[in-house]
């Protein structure tokens, strides 16, 4: 579980996203940061028990900095109003599929997959889906997966078939995807409940076949 004070800090940061306020509340931030890292450490410990590919991953390699890169963004807020963690082989900067937890009051979620791929990785995944569509279909339509996730996210999707594929391809709706992710919301009540760790791990467990399928394409 996360501390109520951590959630309150994120709420207050969203309402006061400026350096002056952040500097004045740095001690509160450091306490929230430690709380979140402790949570991530516990999640990773439990996740390693069911996905041995994460054996050498360290908690600090999973969490993101709270500072935003505003150089190329119209939004000049200096800080993120959320805390995120990406559990993937090699750490959060590696171009591989993994598990993700997003803590943001009223907008928290858990999920995983691989997001906004580079052209080469996207090509590899499309080939894998095309060649092994029966296996892929069994994964994304599995009862355990569908019980938690409604399906793969379709917000980033081509309107026409990608180059090299025809509209009558059995896997075409998946081949049009530009990201391969699945997410489900986490309530504010869940964030501070004693059952949070168990819930997150149960949600991650349902993603294991998808994560391994995607990594087979981009890594192996």
User: 122-134 pLDDT, tens per residue?
Assistant: 999 999 999 999 9
Quick one: how far is CA 217 from the chain centroid?
Answer: 19
Q: Which residues pair with 100 in a beta bridge?
A: 86, 111
Q: Provide the residue ranges of all domains of the chain, joining segments of one domain with +.
A: 4-218
200-216: per-residue pLDDT in tens?
Answer: 999 999 999 999 999 99
Mean pLDDT for the stretch of residues 83-97: 86
Q: What does the block give as tokens for 127?
A: 């080939």
Asked whether 1 and 197 are in contact (CB, 8 A), the reply is yes
Please check the confidence at residue 46 and state whether its pLDDT lies above 90.
yes
Please check the confidence at residue 116 and state whether its pLDDT lies above 90.
no
Q: Which residues contact 4 (CB under 8 A, 6 or more apart)?
A: 192
**Mean pLDDT of the chain, nearest integer:** 95
Quick count: other Cβ atoms within 10 Å of Cβ 169?
17
Predicted local distance difference test score (pLDDT) of residue 123? 96
Please check the confidence at residue 181 and state whether its pLDDT lies above 80.
yes
Please check the confidence at residue 115 and state whether its pLDDT lies above 80.
yes
Mean pLDDT for the stretch of residues 16-45: 98
Please check the confidence at residue 186 and state whether its pLDDT lies above 70.
yes
Mode of pairing for the β-strands spanning 83-87 and 98-103? antiparallel
Dist CA 50 CA 4 (whole Å): 29
Predicted local distance difference test score (pLDDT) of residue 93? 67
pLDDT tier at 192, thresholds 50, 70, 90: very high
Dist CA 205 CA 111 (whole Å): 10
136-176: per-residue pLDDT in tens?
Answer: 999 999 999 999 999 999 999 999 999 999 999 999 999 99
Mean pLDDT for the stretch of residues 88-109: 90
Dist CA 148 CA 138 (whole Å): 15
Predicted local distance difference test score (pLDDT) of residue 71? 85
Please check the confidence at residue 27 and state whether its pLDDT lies above 80.
yes
Predicted local distance difference test score (pLDDT) of residue 91? 74
């Amino acid at each position: 579980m996360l501390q109520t004070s951590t959630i309150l800090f994120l709420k207050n940061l969203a309402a006061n996203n400026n350096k002056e306020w952040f500097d004045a509340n740095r001690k509160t931030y450091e306490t929230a940061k430690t709380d979140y890292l402790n949570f991530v450490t516990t999640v990773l410990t439990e996740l390693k028990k069911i996905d041995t590919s994460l054996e050498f991953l360290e908690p600090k390699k999973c969490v993101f900095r709270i500072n935003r890169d505003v150089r190329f963004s119209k939004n000049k807020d200096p800080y993120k109003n959320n805390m995120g963690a990406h559990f993937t082989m090699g750490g959060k900067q590696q171009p591989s599929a993994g598990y993700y937890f997003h803590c943001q009051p009223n907008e928290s979620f858990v999920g995983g997959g691989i997001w906004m791929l580079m052209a080469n990785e996207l090509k590899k995944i499309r080939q894998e889906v095309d060649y092994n569509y029966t296996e892929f279909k069994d994964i994304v339509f599995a009862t355990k997966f569908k019980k938690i996730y409604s399906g793969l996210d379709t917000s980033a999707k081509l309107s026409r078939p990608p180059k090299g594929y025809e509209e009558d391809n059995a896997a075409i709706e998946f081949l049009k995807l530009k990201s391969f992710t699945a997410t489900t919301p986490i309530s504010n009540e869940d964030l501070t409940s004693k059952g949070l760790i168990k819930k997150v791990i149960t949600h991650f467990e349902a993603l294991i076949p998808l994560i391994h399928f995607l990594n087979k394409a981009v890594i192996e």
